Amino acid sequence: GQQVMQIPQYQHVQEGEDFTTYCNSSTTLSNIQWYKQRPGGHPVFLIQLVKSGEVKKQKRLTFQFGEAKKNSSLHITATQTTDVGTYFCAGQDTGNQFYFGTGTSLTVIP
């Protein structure tokens, strides 16, 4: 079945360093969404990418969708302690089912 993998599983960075998480799907996606989940919290939507090769920015966050619509990345510039949490990608196929990635847990050391 469909699988969505993320790397790395864990990332520890010093505050101010950059961070990137990568998401890879076994099949082509119609779109991909990114979520952030704080410890003990629920997933909170960050962004959705639909077009092949799409790049979107939200302040210090940059999101990319691959040309083949099978991979995506999230890059955070100059991390802050408020960025702590687990970042999940969630790919949607042609139906109404979402496949969440395995997540990347980000720790920011002050």
**Between β-strands 104-109 and 10-14, what pairing exists: parallel, antiparallel or unpaired?**
parallel
x-or-dash string of contact with another protein, 23-42, rule CB under 8 A = -------xx-x-x-x---xx
Q: Running DSSP on this structure, what letter comes out for residue 3? A: -
Q: Does residue 104 belong to the site contacting another protein (CB under 8 A)?
A: no
φ, ψ at 83 (rounded to 5°): -80, -5
List beta partners, residue 10.
105
Q: Between vectors from CA 18 to CA 14 and to CA 106, what angle results, nearest 5°? A: 65
User: Please, which residue, 18 or 38, has the CB nearer to another protein?
Assistant: 38
x-or-dash string of contact with another protein, 48-77, rule CB under 8 A = x-x---------------------------
Site size with another protein, rule: CB under 8 A: 25
Q: How far is CA 87 from the centre of its chain?
A: 5
Q: Which residues bind another protein (CB under 8 A)?
A: 1, 30-31, 33, 35, 37, 41-45, 48, 50, 88, 90, 92, 95-103
